[in-house]
Amino acid sequence: MASPPFESWLRPGPSGLYCAPGDFFIDPAGPAPRAVITHGHSDHARAGHAAVLATAETLAIMRLRLGELGQAQALAYGEPLTVKDVTVTLVPAGHILGSAQIVIDYRGQRAVISGDYKRRADPTCDPFELVPCDLFVTEATFGLPVYRHEPDWAEVQKLLASLADFPERTHQIGVYGLGKCQRLIKLIRQAGYDRPIWLHGALRSMTDYYVSRGIDLGDVPNAADAPGKLAGEIVLSPPSALGDRWSRRFADPLSGFASGWMRIRGRVRQRGVELPLIISDHCDWPELIRTVTGTGAREVWVTHGREEALVHELSKRQIVARALRLVGREDDAE
């Protein structure tokens, strides 16, 4: 007997994916009665849901960002939960602390909604687990073959080499506040750097949360409390504070940016970045292809990013692929 089409029970709509037999939305763009959330980034975890299901870490991150949630239910990785007519299991996505792929089993069919994910090792979160499935829903932030991230350690070495070359300048690195910030600190620590790493105030609460979860990040004081101009020191800030008034307190600041977008020179120039660090929390192109094909899915939906190229490539490989073009996803914030 032919299986029913996936759309009959998993419906892409303007406010996100809706699982009809389980009666819940996944990462909805606006307030929903029942929401399952993949991870804590603001374009996935929004305010105002009546009931939320996510990992304990994602719920904690949401509370830090959004205040009290409605009815919240934590679900550990790998524990199946029956939700009406479907079974929901959360599986590590390797994107940031608490990030999960949502595995939905319904009448012998399995769909995996991966949220945002990456494949390379991240010392601040559980690694991605590949789940064989029939339908794989993927992002395509870096869905073009020009995007191949360099090894993380090589990028951190670039930063340390620049500190040695310019010991009189403050190295101010723009990072996304949740995930990238803490991962970069940990990577710098792993490279043997043990001086303080100074933080912009906006990075404080998430970093403290990571530390409270047992991730040792060393000495991470507030840049605002620094005694001098922090010449030769590393300062992390949100990208928006690069080359802006906040940075005037530092010694001839040299601005860096840790992002997968730093692979493209035009984007580096556009941001006026002197030290581009290609460090991403998303898959690059080879990892996307390897993951999508590795799941064995016969159908693939692409939520956001450079969907066109990924759909083209998968079609060549005889995989049914379609672009969902979900609204509200900010791939440039990476």
Partner 1 sequence: MKAFSQLLDRLTYTPARNAKLMLMRNYFLATPDPDRGYALAALTNGLPISFPLRRVLTEIGASRFDPELFRMSRDDVGDTAETVALIWPVTEAGGDAPRLSEIVAALSKAGRGGHAALLTQWLDRLDATGRWALLKFLGGAPRVGVSARLAKQAVADAFGKSVDDIEELWHGVAPPYTELFAWLEQKAGRPPLAATPIFRPLMLAHPLEEADWQAMNLDDFAAEWKWDGIRIQVAAKGGATRLFSRTGDDIGQSFPELVDQFKFDAVLDGELLVVRNGEVAPFSDLQQRLNRKTVTRAMLTKYPVHVRFYDALEIGGEDLRGLPFTDRRGRLEKWRRQFGPAHSDLSEVLSFASKEELKSRWEATREEGIEGLMLKRRTSPYLAGRPKGHWYKWKRAALTADCVLLYAQKGSGKRSSFYSDYTFGAWTEKDGQAVLVPVGKAYSGFTDEELVQLDRFVRQNTIDRFGPVRSVTPKLVLEIAFDAIQPSTRHKSGIAMRFPRVSRIRWDKPANEADTLETLKGLMSAAG
Question: Rounded to the nearest whole angstrom, what is the least distance from the CB of residue 71 to partner 1 in the complex?
Answer: 40
What's the CA gap between 235 and 296, in Å, rounded?
43
What's the CA gap between 293 and 288, in Å, rounded?
8
Residue 36: strand pairing partners: 26, 53
40 versus 239: smaller Cβ distance to partner 1:
239
126 versus 150: smaller Cβ distance to partner 1:
150
Which pairing describes strands 254-258 and 275-277: parallel, antiparallel, or unpaired?
A: parallel
Burial readout 82-105 (b: 16 or more C-beta within 10 A, e: otherwise):
ebeebebbbbbbbbbbbbbbbbbb
Question: Rounded to the nearest whole angstrom, what is the least distance from the CB of residue 267 to partner 1 in the complex?
Answer: 9
Nearest to 282 by CA among 156, 184, 155, 141: 141
What lies within 8 Å, CB to CB, of 252 at 6+ separation is 168, 169, 170, 231
Question: Rounded to the nearest whole angstrom, what is the least distance from the CB of residue 265 to partner 1 in the complex?
Answer: 6
Collapsing DSSP to helix, strand or coil, 178 comes out as coil
222 versus 315: smaller Cβ distance to partner 1:
315
Question: Rounded to the nearest whole angstrom, what is the least distance from the CB of residue 327 to partner 1 in the complex?
Answer: 21
57 versus 274: smaller Cβ distance to partner 1:
274
152 versus 313: smaller Cβ distance to partner 1:
313
Question: Rounded to the nearest whole angstrom, what is the least distance from the CB of residue 246 to partner 1 in the complex?
Answer: 8
Question: Rounded to the nearest whole angstrom, what is the least distance from the CB of residue 250 to partner 1 in the complex?
Answer: 10
236 versus 268: smaller Cβ distance to partner 1:
268
CA 200 to chain centre: 20
Binding-site ranges for partner 1 (CB under 8 A): 144-148, 150, 165-166, 243-245, 247-248, 252-253, 255, 263-266, 268, 270, 272-276, 306, 308-309, 312-313, 316
